[in-house]
Amino acid sequence: MSKARSYYESANLSHIPELMKLAPDAAASYFSFERQIYQQSHQLPVKTKELIAIVVAHVTGCPYCIDVHVKKYKELGGTMEEIMEALLVAAVTRSGAILSHGVNALLAYHDAPGKPDCFC
């Protein structure tokens, strides 16, 4: 039986230059922005930036970004314990946002009956 091909193989990242050729100005702008944030802006240490990137990668669900940023973070001396704590901070913050947005459900429930005033 053959191994099923995964959409998320790290080797797939080698195709980024091909994508860049399809929109070179936009790609150049993106990479310039990335360099500015990671290399030229010094308000946060790079290690902290990588930890933030790991959490955002988990929130957005990007396995490529998770892989790349975890490896960079580890190279900078980051620990798995720090990563886990940061992920838990994101999880509890997201949970808190869901709870606080529950107020909107409560208000909608208690609002006068009728057709919702929205496009959805």
Per-residue pLDDT tens digits for 17-32: 999 999 999 999 999 9
Provide the b/e sequence for 45-56 (b: ≥16 CB within 10 Å): eeeebbbebbbe
Amino acid at 23: A
pLDDT tens, position by position, 59-110:
999 999 999 999 999 999 999 999 999 999 999 999 999 999 999 889 888 8
Q: What percent of the chain has pLDDT over 90?
A: 76
Q: Would you state the pLDDT for residue 1?
A: 52
Domains of the chain: 16-108 (1.20.1290.10)
Tokens at 64, concatenated: 């490529």
Among left, alpha and beta (phi > 0; psi -120 to 50; other), residue 116 is beta
